[in-house]
Amino acid sequence: MTALSDVRNAEHLEEAARYVEMWLGLQVNIEGFYQLTEGDDLLRPLAQDYRGLRIVQIPELFEALSWAIMGQQINLTFAYTLKKRFVERYGEGMAYQGEMYWQFPKPEDVVNVSVEELQELQLTRRKAEYILGVAKLMITGELEKAQLESLSDDGLRQRLLAIRGIGPWTADYVSMRCFGRTSAFPIGDAGLHQAVRKHLNLDRKPTVKELETLGARWQGWQSYATYYLWRSLSTN
């Protein structure tokens, strides 16, 4: 690892290394997933094609929740546009070799921002309210990642669902991308539906029952099955 500043404090470097390990999902032993795919006709070719692929994490809870809220019921391209506007207005930037690198805003950076100001970025009023609501919960200490990490998968999901603006898809997505829960299954995800339809050669999108059956087959590794299916959509 190379530090871009003059900081050489061993403790800081170790903390950075742990963060990168979490960010890249290296703390998860995915051999169990590969063992599961060996007996699964749908996943086996994907595991062979993308072997070594891990779920890239979003370690910061506020970023994970905000990003998931932004992405609700819109296409990915527009979601990235919203995120770029949000980060460049409220985040901190650092110039390096002629490029700007941005840090996602912290809750305290936006907690006093108005709903109307966020709407200027083309966020809907509801999404603006949800993001500001999450920021306030985190500022007051009512919502902390450290407190949630000890919860069971179902306990975590239920706690996330209790937050205004967080539905099943968002709760499952955040469980998967922020907490590294390998059994989270965003069953309502449009990309998941598209990928399953593609690989099963269906002339329609899969039913909830069909997806539940697949999820039961992938027990314990639904997040990785979903991630590999998402990845397959970028391959012709």
Residues recognised as catalytic: 189
DSSP for the chain, written as a single string: ---SSS---HHHHHHHHHHHHHHTTTTS-THHHHHHHTT-TTTHHHHHHTTT--------HHHHHHHHHHTTTS-HHHHHHHHHHHHHHHSEEEEETTEEEEEPPPHHHHTT--HHHHHTTT--HHHHHHHHHHHHHHHTTSS-HHHHTTS-HHHHHHHHHTSTT--HHHHHHHHHHTS--TT---TT-HHHHHHHHHHTT-SSPPPHHHHHHHHHHTTT-HHHHHHHHHHHTT--
